[in-house]
Amino acid sequence: MINLDELYKKGKLNPETIKEAQQGEAADLDENSSAFGTNTTRPTGSRKERPRCRKTGFFSEPHENQNRAESENPYTGKRKYGEKSGKKPKEKKKPSVDEAAVRKLARKSMSTEELRQFLRQKEYSDEEISAELKELKTHHYLDDRKFAWEYLQYAFSQNRSRRRAFSELRKKGVSEEDMQKAFMDYEDLEGNLNERAMAEKEMEKVLRMADLTMDDPVPEKIRGRIARRLSARGFSSSLIWDLLDELRRG
């Protein structure tokens, strides 16, 4: 490398020439360092590196991000349905009244009135509903007497009284005639209903939760708990008092 100071002492260079030469050497050093990857600063005026996609690693153009932001839901960040292809969502076809009724009965046993109210909520006409209910009764898919018999079996297995079970069937739209016939069918199969035995089972449950037996003295608080439980099951007041009188007072 030429020594600029020696040339200046010999009178061959002036101060302005030395300054220009030093600037040229600095520029050459910058070019050489960038050629071997040692330059850490971006040259002035050079183009910025394009952003890369986080998922694929490929370069993404600014307009692609802009289009994606416009098509995405601002709350969830997901693309709105049908915007990419321009298709509209298909409208769900309403099933026929026969299909709706059969599907409901396949999932749940219902009374005639319950099924009628269900079909009305689905906005079928009264003429369609009446015709469908008549068709179902003809083929024995809808039978209030059988429905009441099945419900009585369930209610009595839960230690509910006859009065409570009948009250629930009335709310479901079952007639008194169908309820009475269903109760006779139940007793023919299971024998006479023993409500006292059912009430005693419920009373024993309350005593067990209080760590008591039928022979232990029962505090007034537990006696009141027994009375409320038996009353909720629909047992008569006379039966409840009879059972409480048999308990020893604590």
For residue 244, what is the enclosing H or E element? helix 237-246
CA–CA distance, 220 with 226 (Å, rounded to integer): 10
Instruction: Please indicate, yes or no, if residue 133 is contained in any of the structural domains.
Output: yes
Whether 152 and 174 map to the same domain: the answer is yes
Tens digit of pLDDT for each residue in 158-183? 999 999 999 999 999 999 999 999 99
Phi–psi pair at 174, nearest 5 degrees: -85, 135
Average the pLDDT over 221-249 and give the result.
Answer: 94
- β partners of residue 185: none
Q: How many domains does the chain have?
A: 3
Instruction: Please indicate, yes or no, if residue 206 is contained in any of the structural domains.
Output: yes
**pLDDT of the residue at 91:** 73
CA–CA distance, 199 with 240 (Å, rounded to integer): 8
Tens digit of pLDDT for each residue in 47-82? 556 666 665 555 555 555 555 555 555 555 555 555
Whether 128 and 151 map to the same domain: the answer is no
**pLDDT of the residue at 102:** 92
Are 227 and 244 in contact by the 8 Å Cβ rule? The answer is yes
Whether 188 and 198 map to the same domain: the answer is no
Instruction: Please indicate, yes or no, if residue 8 is contained in any of the structural domains.
Output: no
User: Which has the closest alpha carbon to 51: 39, 38, 41, 66?
Assistant: 66
User: Of the ranges 5-9, 156-160, 189-193, 202-206, which one carries the lowest mean pLDDT score?
Assistant: 5-9
CA–CA distance, 29 with 35 (Å, rounded to integer): 10
Instruction: Please indicate, yes or no, if residue 24 is contained in any of the structural domains.
Output: no
**pLDDT of the residue at 26:** 55
Averaged pLDDT score across all residues of the chain: 80
Asked if residue 2 has pLDDT above 50, the reply is no
Determine the length of the chain. Answer: 250
**pLDDT of the residue at 195:** 96
Instruction: Please indicate, yes or no, if residue 213 is contained in any of the structural domains.
Output: yes
Asked if residue 83 has pLDDT above 80, the reply is no
Whether 198 and 248 map to the same domain: the answer is yes
What is the domain extent for residue 202?
194-250
Phi–psi pair at 249, nearest 5 degrees: -80, 140
**pLDDT of the residue at 57:** 58
Identify the band that residue 94 occupies on the pLDDT scale cut at 50, 70 and 90.
confident
CA–CA distance, 232 with 203 (Å, rounded to integer): 12
